[in-house]
Structure 1
Amino acid sequence: MKKIHIHEEYCIGCRICEIMCLVKHSRSGKIIKAFKEEPRPLPRVRVEEKEYISFALQCRHCEEARCIENCMTGAMYRDEEGVVRCDEEKCVGCWMCIMSCPFGAVTREKGEKKVASKCDLCAGEKLPVCVANCPNEALTYE
């Protein structure tokens, strides 16, 4: 299975990955509307910075995914391609996935329904938008 790889030595902390992820998962898919007119979704990638190092953090789609193991409703599951996904209809907001993720990659969506939110590798896209729009190629999809 292909995964997003982080090359922190190339990351400049520009946060374009966060912005494009937010736009991709917005209702309209348009940058101005996503920021000004719609309830803003959380980006499913987050840039972490400490001194001179910055890197994008998103779901690693672990082989032994603790989020799946600890999900009491089965909302967290692995699809046929090996991608760890969240079924928002099954999610009850217990946050076991958030507490069990060793990378802090699962977050709480702040929309009307309180559900878990995580990287879905931009289902339906040839390349995740964070990777496609990274100006320094700090993110690769291999």
Structure 2
Amino acid sequence: MKLLKTYADRCVRCGACMTACSKAYFKEDEPELSRIRIGDVGSMAQMNVCNQCGACIEVCPTQALERDKNGVVQLRKEKCTSCMMCVGYCPTASMFFNADKQSQPFKCIACGICAKTCPVGALEILGQ
């Protein structure tokens, strides 16, 4: 299975990963549009990103979420009704929504853009 592995102990909270992600998918530098979120828990970084557990697949009433050939959970936009069940149910709070920019939820699809831009190796794509 392909997934984004995080190393919170290496993260310096520079935001390069969030910038790269939001620019890639929304064409603007806005952390709230990133599919990875970096925050603080005491002196340590909190890295919030989808671990591809698939819990969201089970709760989607329209079967808009499914695994691709690499095991990555993908949203099929044509089936999504924006009910937000996946957003509310996600056990890692890694399914995001921004009503101002898009009518459907979004999540990490393990594309690796963030890992390529991380200056300290705090992110890695596994299962390529």
Q: Do the structures match in fold with TM over 0.5?
A: yes
**Moved beyond 3 Å, runs of 4+:** none
Check the 8 A contact 2:11/2:122 in 1, yes or no.
Answer: yes
- Superposed CA deviations along residues 66-122 of structure 1, whole A, max 9, x for unmatched, are 100000011111112211001122111111101111100001133465211101122
Structure 1 residues 113, 15: CA separation in 2 closer, same or farther (over 3 Å shift)?
A: closer
Matched with 1:114 is 103
1:70 to 48, 59, 62: 59
Shift of 1:132: 0.5
- The answer to whether the 8 Å contact 1:7/1:55 transfers is no
Alpha-carbon deviations, 1:36-88, whole Å to 9, x = none? xxxx98111111212211132111111xx110000001111111221100112
Structure 1: runs of 5+ lacking an equivalent: 28-33, 123-127
Q: Please give the alpha-carbon distance, in whole angstroms, between the structure 2 residues aligned to 1:66 and 1:53.
A: 27
Q: Counterpart in 2 of 1:45?
A: 36
Mark the structure with the bigger radius of gyration: 1
Give aligned pairs, total: 126
Which consecutive residues of structure 2, in runs of 5 or more, have no partner in the other structure? none
Amino acid at match of 1:60: N
Query: Which amino acid in 1 is paired with 2:47?
Result: A
Match of 1:57 among 24, 41, 48: 48
- Partner SS for 1:69: helix
Are the equivalent residues in 2 in contact too, given 1:88–1:116 (CA < 8 A)? Answer: no
SS in structure 2 of the partner of residue 117 of structure 1: coil
Match in the other structure for 1:30: none
Structure 1 pair 13/139, CA: closer, same or farther in 2 (3 Å)?
same
Give, as a single letter, the amino acid of the residue that structure 2 aligns with 1:50. Answer: V
Identity of aligned residues (%): 30
1:138 and 2:127 correspond: no
SS at match of 2:56: helix
Aligned to 1:10: 10
Give the match for residue 24 of structure 2.
24
What's the secondary structure of 1:135's corresponding residue?
A: coil
Report the aligned-residue RMSD: 2.0
